[in-house]
Amino acid sequence: MVSTHSIMATALACLAFSVAPVTATTYSMVKQYYGSTFFDEWTFYNNYDNLTNGDVVYVSAQNATTDQLAYVDTSTNHAIIKVDNTSTVVWNNKRNSVRISSDDSFGVGSLWVADIYHAPYGCSVWPAWWSQAAVWPQGGEIDTFEGINTNTQNQMSLHTETGCTAVSQNQTSTLVASTNCSYAANEDQGCIVTDPSTGSYGAGFASSGGGAFVTEMASTGINIWFFARSAIPSSLSSNESSIDTSAFGTPVANWPSTGCNITEFFQPQNLIFDITLCGDWADGATWNSTCSGICYNNWVMGNGTDYDNAYFEVGYVRVFSTEGTNTVVSPTTTGSGSSSTTSGSSTQSSSSAGLPHGGYWMSATLLVVVGLFSALFTLA
């Protein structure tokens, strides 16, 4: 006769296995933007820069393709996103540029990687690789890569509603300019961390072949890593479908949840590339210390040769979800891990994605447990 203790032990073991938590630092790839289809699932802003008062017009997808401002270089399979450097701009006109936002957004429990070989730089140039929620500032903003003019160091920051602050940061950078992330404080400068490496932005970044930026938006905090081209971890360079952040070391920037409740201040993020010119920051207080002349008159106007370096060259963008979940939110779904089909992602719900046969496996396990408990009480 099978003992009741044996049945109880087996039942509890099955139950424990079925609800075991996933490892927080292990992520599985759910989305990839790469090669000839890189631009297929991005929205082009198609308006003048009414966001940061820059002297550009963000063109439509059709115009970006026609004018070769957004295209895939067939010799490298890299995506190019650039400022118009061939047209002559006359007084009171703006120069054409590109701003794209991913159609899908990605919730807490996501990690995204951008492999960037070249990033825009030069006087009047203000590029960014960043993310924000559909509703700002309620859903938060993460600036992974941003700089202006002839700066040589990347600036990273968060922008949120009031109540999010940077405390007890575990990071390699000691350059913390501000700790209040609220958009309502300090003219919305956010909580800023600057990368100490002069190879993280500008001419130094470009001359060394760029590198990879990793952004992790976890419930325990937000982390950013930058790896120069020669130091990119093998899990990223070899295109592995699963990565573990414990192999990345200490991030260059860290905002722990102890000072900012991530699930409260951050909603699913759309990923964004943009390049503006002049505007609130590049033509701001630091202009005269980095560049000469008048930003618009002496740089934006004219034949455009000053913008030969004003382009992104992107090898890929990959998005990962915490192992066993799906944090992709498509434009047709209403929440993270929806059962709706999303391109490049699992169609399973977040409670079952990544498990053998998804929800069917979970249901079968629970049936076994119920059956074992029934047997237990029958024998008793």
Residue-wise pLDDT for 179-197, tens only, equals 999 999 999 999 999 999 9
* Structure confidence at residue 12 (pLDDT): 33
Distance CA 30, CA 357 (A): 17
pLDDT at 347 over 60: no
* Structure confidence at residue 11 (pLDDT): 35
pLDDT at 377 over 60: no
Give the closest residue to 266 by CA, choosing from 28, 105, 86.
105
* Structure confidence at residue 354 (pLDDT): 28
Q: What is the mean pLDDT of the chain?
A: 85
pLDDT at 318 over 70: yes
Which DSSP letter does residue 337 get? T
Q: What is the mean pLDDT of residues 132-159?
A: 98
Instruction: Dihedral sign for Cα 105, 257, 180, 175, please.
Output: negative
Least confident segment among 52-66, 284-298, 340-354: 340-354
Distance CA 205, CA 263 (A): 33
pLDDT at 89 over 60: yes
CB atoms within 10 A of CB 57: 20
* Structure confidence at residue 341 (pLDDT): 30
Which residues are tagged catalytic?
141, 146
pLDDT at 371 over 60: no
pLDDT at 20 over 70: no
Q: Which residue has the higher pLDDT, 362 or 76?
A: 76
Could you give the percent of the chain with pLDDT greater than 70?
81
Q: What is the mean pLDDT of residues 128-141?
A: 98
Distance CA 274, CA 238 (A): 27
pLDDT at 45 over 90: yes
